[in-house]
């Protein structure tokens, strides 16, 4: 790259920015008033370039290093620059001095950018005669790794300057987001502050850092927890930014806990203690994965989403840039607005309102944009539009609702008054819904759940009781139940079951054919078929293969399996608080759809073929049930069930 870049300030940010520019091929002049800072900067850059050379990422570290010259005299070198990036201490008086000099000494068409985090660009520009060429160019630490910058327009920044700075960002390999107005905290810090402050408030209310960070890491999928990041950045640094943006009009109450930590010198990794304790600087906090469901991450995302709505409504940033910033600048696996659309805008607004009720803080007032979205029914993926438009379709197959929600299908059993029992329509409806999801190539994952307090109470006994003989029963199995069992046995897409309540009999057994079973704490299971003169065909064949002899106790007594036992048995994979069941379901959709679709299909096929090994057992159990239908035991069981009395077995 031709041209000279002048980087003023050789501290944490300045040295990294200089390295990035030199790596891109620019000649760099690095200026600092402090000689030590300059020599430190050069040795840090040199160390980092050597590492890149060792890893074969660059050919010649020396050559890159040679492109960086240092100076302590800004006046002397400013005239040579084609592009300036100022990264000196965060003090308005110092920045003013520097910009005055730059304005006088730099070439006419040279862009003067500042890396300030908290000082308004307009304020910095006001000391220059050409404020149109002053612009914010905000990097993140470390700039060598975080390949995103915020470009911030001051009041007088010209379009030409914006164009030039966008182009420059591209030449140094940085993606950018536009911040159209000079607001405190710009874009990323505004969102980060909301999320972080909220997380601290939950600590004040009794949560542990590990609990919140576990949810952030293992459920949202961020590489580091919120408190880990802040400990790394430095609590004083974050506190100062917070205070600065607050002084400049950002509406936020500073949590007392933060002030207390500053007084106690708990500043994070650098003092060995912050939210966590560290034995050395590179020590990492231990965040147990099993804490992940103790805290719902939507609680801390919601204030962040509210901030995003404010940014969008005030035309400061566009939604695509906000999501890009959260992914590339903050390390989220997907954009924060995408999360909001996944969880549901109504959920976000509910969280904000309940926080406002609890704390009385104005910060939680839902932005009018969010209120309007809810009023207009723009709730996110669940109905086709939120911050973004999503492909959506809803079809009712009898009592079964099929919804395509962008990349997943939600299948809901809807006979709540009958505890979603499997009558003919339910069996057939489920089969049609699963087949529809199978055929839609955009559907990557299927979620199944039940409406009301039950998941599914099993076969509808009134239907079974109406059979007049073997033929009725056999017809029912062959024409109504078996098609679904066959569909699921060879299903090629991952199926996540959200067990919201009772799953008895066939309702329990269907879960043996699903892939990931997530149960509410309220869920219970049972295979009581023997008690009514029948047999649980899938549990006693496939179930025996999956769980071994442990299933016998439940098949031969019909006793209730509580959710803890179900987890121990291996029937349930994850147990979560009832109110977050759907949230966890959509989180799993993200995780499963991260797999290549062909891999997911191949894994499913392989697992289905293992299931095939018990095909003959399943056939035997199906035959057994046909043999039971004409017996007196069966008739007596059905009668007893309907009249709710104990059956009197004749037996043999
Ligand atoms: P720092 O304290 O590490 O470095 C500041 C440097 O400025 C020092 O080397 C100091 O000697 C030099 N300096 C002071 N007065 C000067 C002058 N008159 N002329 C030339 N050099 C002078 O600070 P840091 O963290 O690198 O921050 C620099 C700027 O970057 C600030 O505006 C800060 O808000 C911003 N920033 C910082 C981030 C961070 O994570 N540290 C992230 C993004 C922006």
What is the full DSSP assignment across 266-282?
--BGGGTBSSSB-SSTT
Do both 132 and 211 map to the same domain? no
Q: What atom in ligand 1 is closest to the CA of residue 89?
A: 5
Residue 466 tokens read as 């109406």
Phi, psi for residue 622 in degrees, rounded to 5: -65, -40
What number is the average pLDDT over the span 31-51? Answer: 97
Ligand 1: residue whose CA is nearest its atom 13:
88
Residue 465's pLDDT band, with cuts at 50, 70 and 90, is confident
What number is the average pLDDT over the span 527-552? Answer: 94
Do both 545 and 496 map to the same domain? yes
Do both 349 and 435 map to the same domain? no
Q: What atom in ligand 1 is closest to the CA of residue 14?
A: 26
Between residues 447 and 636, the one the model is more confident about? 447
Structural domain includes residue 408: yes
Domains held by the chain: number: 3
Q: What atom in ligand 1 is closest to the CA of residue 139?
A: 43
Question: Cα–Cα distance between 125 and 136 in angstroms, integer?
Answer: 10
What integer pLDDT is reported at residue 463 of this predicted model? 81
Lowest-confidence segment of 14-18, 53-57, 408-412, 619-623 by average pLDDT: 619-623
Q: Does residue 342 line the site of ligand 1, with CB under 6 A?
A: no
What integer pLDDT is reported at residue 354 of this predicted model? 98
Question: Residue 342 Cα, ligand 1 centroid: separation in angstroms?
Answer: 39
Residue 129 burial (C-beta neighbours within 10 Å; 0-12, 13-18, 19+): exposed
Q: Does residue 236 line the site of ligand 1, with CB under 6 A?
A: no
Do both 353 and 475 map to the same domain? no
What number is the average pLDDT over the span 447-462? Answer: 94
Do both 201 and 218 map to the same domain? yes
Question: Residue 16 Cα, ligand 1 centroid: separation in angstroms?
Answer: 11
CB-facing half-sphere around the CA of 214: CA atoms within 13 A: 15
Residue 124 near residue 97 (C-beta atoms within 8 A): no
Question: Residue 277 Cα, ligand 1 centroid: separation in angstroms?
Answer: 28
Look up the pTM and report it: 0.92
Residue 613 tokens read as 């090994």
Question: Cα–Cα distance between 272 and 235 in angstroms, integer?
Answer: 12
The parent domain of residue 512 ranges over 392-580+596-649
Ligand 1: residue whose CA is nearest its atom 31:
90
Do both 347 and 403 map to the same domain? no
| Other Cβ atoms within 10 Å of 487 Cβ, number | 17
Show Cβ contacts of residue 164 under 8 Å, excluding neighbours closer than 6 positions: 83, 111
Residue 154 burial (C-beta neighbours within 10 Å; 0-12, 13-18, 19+): buried
Q: Does residue 142 line the site of ligand 1, with CB under 6 A?
A: no
Given a cut of 60, is residue 652 above it in pLDDT?
no
CATH value at residue 625? 3.90.226.10
Considering 342, 375, 408, which residue would you say is the last residue of a domain? Answer: 375
Question: Residue 239 Cα, ligand 1 centroid: separation in angstroms?
Answer: 17
Closest by CA to 532, choosing from 485, 472, 462, is 462
pLDDT in tens, 605-643: 999 999 888 988 888 988 898 888 888 888 888 888 878
Angle 581-592/336-343 helices, nearest 10 degrees?
130
Residue 16 tokens read as 């990294």
Residue 500's pLDDT band, with cuts at 50, 70 and 90, is very high
Given a cut of 80, is residue 236 above it in pLDDT?
yes
Q: Does residue 37 line the site of ligand 1, with CB under 6 A?
A: yes
Do both 47 and 164 map to the same domain? yes
Report in angstroms the alpha-carbon separations of 222 from 168, 543, 579, 588: 30, 36, 23, 14
Q: Does residue 497 line the site of ligand 1, with CB under 6 A?
A: no
Tokens 């992914």 locate to 327
Structural domain includes residue 492: yes
Strand-by-strand arrangement of the 83-86 sheet:
68-71, 27-31, 4-8, 83-86, 111-114, 134-138, 148-152, 175-179
pLDDT in tens, 197-210: 999 999 999 999 99
Considering 140, 160, 179, which residue would you say is the last residue of a domain? Answer: 179
Structural domain includes residue 590: no
Q: Give the rounded distance of the alpha carbon of 534 from its chain centre.
A: 45
Q: Does residue 90 line the site of ligand 1, with CB under 6 A?
A: yes
DSSP 439-504: H-TT--EEEEEESTTEEE--B-HHHHHT--SHHHHHHIIIIIIHHHHHHHHT--S-EEEEE-SEEE
Considering 179, 214, 238, which residue would you say is the last residue of a domain? Answer: 179
Residue 604's pLDDT band, with cuts at 50, 70 and 90, is very high
Q: Does residue 34 line the site of ligand 1, with CB under 6 A?
A: yes
Question: Cα–Cα distance between 73 and 136 in angstroms, integer?
Answer: 23
Question: Cα–Cα distance between 326 and 328 in angstroms, integer?
Answer: 6
Do both 109 and 193 map to the same domain? no
Structural domain includes residue 611: yes
Structural domain includes residue 167: yes
Report in angstroms the alpha-carbon separations of 227 from 224, 233, 283, 582: 8, 10, 14, 26
CB-facing half-sphere around the CA of 76: CA atoms within 13 A: 10
What integer pLDDT is reported at residue 555 of this predicted model? 96
pLDDT in tens, 284-305: 999 999 999 999 999 999 999 9
Residue 368 tokens read as 């009018």
Do both 194 and 171 map to the same domain? no
Do both 273 and 312 map to the same domain? yes
* Mutation to probe ligand 1, out of 13, 42, 137, 144 (largest number of atoms < 8 A from CB): 13
Instruction: Write out the E strands in 358-422.
Output: 392-397, 400-405, 408-413
Looking at every residue in the chain, the average pLDDT score rounds to 95
| Per-residue b or e along 130-152, where b marks 16 or more CB atoms closer than 10 Å to that residue's CB | bbebbbbbbbbeebbebbbbbbb
Structural domain includes residue 94: yes
Do both 252 and 325 map to the same domain? yes
CATH value at residue 219? 1.10.1040.50
- β-bridge partners, 497: 448, 517
- β-bridge partners, 516: 496
Percent of the chain at pLDDT > 90 equals: 89
Q: Does residue 70 line the site of ligand 1, with CB under 6 A?
A: no
Question: Cα–Cα distance between 557 and 560 in angstroms, integer?
Answer: 9
Structural domain includes residue 387: no
Ligand 1: residue whose CA is nearest its atom 40:
141
Tokens 């990264």 locate to 87
Residue 396 tokens read as 């009712």
Do both 132 and 242 map to the same domain? no
pLDDT in tens, 293-336: 999 999 999 999 999 999 999 999 999 999 999 999 999 999 99
DSSP 579-643: GGHHHHHHHHHHHHTTS-HHHHHHHHHHHHHHHGGGHHHHHHHHHHHHHHTTSHHHHHHHHHHHH
Question: Residue 116 Cα, ligand 1 centroid: separation in angstroms?
Answer: 8
The dihedral formed by the CA atoms of 160, 161, 165 and 166, expressed in degrees to the nearest 10 = -40
Which residues have a catalytic role annotated? 117, 138, 150, 189
Fill in the DSSP letter of residue 296.
-
Question: Residue 460 Cα, ligand 1 centroid: separation in angstroms?
Answer: 71
As a whole number of Å, the CA-based R_g of the chain is 31
Given a cut of 70, is residue 108 above it in pLDDT?
yes
What integer pLDDT is reported at residue 474 of this predicted model? 85
Structural domain includes residue 353: yes
Q: Does residue 349 line the site of ligand 1, with CB under 6 A?
A: no
Question: Residue 32 Cα, ligand 1 centroid: separation in angstroms?
Answer: 10
Closest by CA to 340, choosing from 293, 303, 392, 394, is 303
């Amino acid at each position: 790259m031709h041209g000279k870049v002048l980087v003023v300030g050789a501290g944490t940010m300045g040295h990294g920015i200089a390295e990035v520019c030199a790596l891109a091929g620019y000649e760099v002049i690095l200026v600092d008033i402090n000689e030590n800072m300059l020599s430190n900067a050069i040795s840090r850059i040199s160390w980092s370039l050597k590492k890149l050379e060792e890893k074969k990422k660059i050919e010649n570290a020396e050559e890159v290093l040679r492109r960086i010259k240092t100076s302590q005299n800004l006046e002397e070198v400013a005239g040579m620059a084609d592009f300036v990036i100022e990264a000196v201490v965060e003090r308005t008086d110092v920045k003013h001095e520097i910009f005055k000099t730059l304005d006088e000494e730099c070439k006419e068409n040279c862009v003067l950018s500042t890396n300030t985090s908290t000082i308004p660009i307009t304020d910095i520009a006001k000391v220059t005669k050409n404020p149109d060429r002053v612009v914010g160019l905000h990097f993140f630490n470390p700039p060598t790794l975080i390949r995103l910058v915020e470009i911030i327009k001051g009041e007088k920044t010209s379009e030409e300057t914006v164009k030039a700075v966008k182009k420059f960002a591209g030449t140094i390999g940085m993606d950018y987001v536009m911040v159209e107005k000079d607001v405190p905290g710009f874009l990323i810090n505004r969102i980060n502050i909301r999320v972080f402050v909220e997380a601290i408030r939950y600590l004040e209310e009794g949560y542990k850092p590990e609990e919140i960070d576990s949810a952030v890491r293992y459920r949202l999928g961020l590489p580091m927890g919120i408190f880990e990041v802040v400990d790394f950045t430095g609590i004083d640094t974050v506190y100062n930014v917070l205070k600065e943006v607050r002084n400049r009009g950002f509406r936020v109450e500073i949590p007392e806990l933060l002030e207390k930590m500053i007084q106690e010198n708990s500043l994070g990794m650098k003092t060995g203690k912050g939210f966590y304790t560290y034995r050395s600087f590179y020590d990492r906090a231990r965040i147990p994965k099993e804490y992940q469901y103790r805290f719902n991450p939507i609680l801390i995302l919601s204030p962040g989403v509210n901030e995003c709505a404010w940014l969008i409504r005030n035309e400061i940033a566009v939604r695509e840039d906000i999501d890009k910033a959260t992914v590339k600048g903050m390390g989220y696996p997907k954009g924060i607005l995408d999360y909001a659309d996944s969880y549901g805008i109504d959920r976000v607004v509910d969280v904000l309102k309940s926080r406002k009720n609890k704390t009385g803080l104005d910060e939680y007032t839902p932005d009018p944009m969010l209120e309007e979205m809810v009023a207009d029914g723009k709730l996110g993926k669940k109905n086709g539009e939120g911050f973004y438009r999503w492909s959506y379709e809803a079809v009712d197959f009898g009592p079964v609702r099929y919804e395509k929600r962008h990349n997943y299908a939600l299948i809901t059993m809807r006979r709540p008054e009958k505890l979603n029992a499997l009558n003919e329509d339910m069996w057939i409806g489920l089969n049609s819904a699963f087949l529809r999801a199978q055929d839609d190539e955009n559907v990557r994952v299927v979620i199944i759940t039940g409406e009301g307090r039950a998941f599914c109470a099993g076969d509808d006994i009134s239907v079974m009781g109406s059979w007049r003989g073997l033929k009725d029963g056999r017809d029912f199995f062959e024409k109504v139940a078996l098609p679904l069992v066959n569909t699921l046995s060879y299903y090629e897409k991952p199926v996540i079951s959200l067990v919201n309540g009772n799953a008895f009999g066939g309702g329990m057994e269907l879960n043996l054919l699903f892939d990931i079973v997530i149960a509410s704490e309220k869920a219970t299971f049972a295979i009581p078929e023997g008690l009514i003169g029948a047999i649980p065909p899938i549990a006693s064949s496939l179930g025996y293969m999956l769980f071994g002899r442990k299933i016998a106790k439940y098949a031969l007594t019909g006793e209730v399996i509580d959710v803890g036992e179900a987890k121990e048995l291996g029937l349930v994979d994850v147990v979560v608080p009832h109110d977050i069941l759907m949230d966890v379901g959509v989180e799993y959709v993200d995780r499963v759809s991260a797999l290549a679709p062909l891999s997911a299909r191949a894994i499913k096929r392989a697992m289905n073929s293992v299931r095939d090994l018990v095909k003959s057992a399943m056939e035997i159990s199906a035959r057994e049930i046909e043999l039971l239908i004409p017996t007196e035991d069966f008739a007596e069981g059905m009668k007893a069930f309907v009249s709710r009395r104990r059956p009197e077995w004749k037996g043999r």
